Amino acid sequence: MQFAGKVAIVTGAGSGIGRATARAFAEAGAKVVAADLSEAVNETVAGREGMIAVHMDAGDEADVERTVALAVDTFGGLDIFYANAGISGGATGIFDTPTELWTEVLRVNLIGPALAIKHAGPKIVERGGGAIICTASVAGLRSGAGGPAYSASKAGVINLVQTAAQQFAGSGVRVNAICPGLIETGMTERAFTYARENGKEDKLGRLNPLRRAGQPEEIARVALFLASDAASYVNGQAWVVDGGLSSSHPVTRQEFGKPAF
């Protein structure tokens, strides 16, 4: 999977999956715009050729449009957009989630990818085609893997890529989603830190058949595949990368009126 001559934008590139993927694209020869709201995105690109950092709010249309324009103006076009940025929304139940939190989670997690498709898609068409990838989640497949706002937003992402794939018909643009399971990222750092500090690291990922959590690089490799010519006939799909968790989605059942987590 080589990307010499290709230009990619990766959002949420300040840490975790986004950082691993942005670096992987660059190592494979692509020119990369690493985008994130956090200053940590500067660390992602530090000392690495062919990469530039931009501070961007993934759910803000002006920021997305500006980032796409930056990639085109700096590198001459755009071939790949990985809409990876997202927020968790916390571990609250449906009856405890404020409307404001629902709004913010949907703005970043669902409207963000929609804006990426809207503004990056036409530029990718101008290059003769390419790939758009969105980070969904196993939480978007069924209940039991995340809070209600997060889960609903990721379910929306899965349908979004299916709808977008149809609307790009004949353009050469493919749109797919990745559904990670438990991955060690900034979003899950608290759980990993707690487990290690309390001697429970072996419990992380115990519900999936591989009996371990995943690493960002394992998602990055799938992102590169979906962006590559090797995936030339993969379109409108949600690729699950979760160690087998979603083959059953085992959970501890919640009882009505009791805390969700």
- For residue 50, give both structure tokens: 């062919």
Look up residue 231 and give its two tokens: 């995936």
* Ramachandran sector of residue 9 (left: φ over 0; alpha: ψ -120 to 50; beta: rest): beta
Q: Residue 77 carries which DSSP code?
A: -
Residue 239 structure tokens: 């690729």
Between CA 216 and CA 191 the distance in angstroms is: 16
Q: What's phi and psi for 234, nearest 5 deg?
A: -105, 120
DSSP designation for 11? E
Ranges assigned E (strand) in 208-261: 238-241
Residue 150: active-site member: yes
Catalytic residue numbers, as ranges: 150
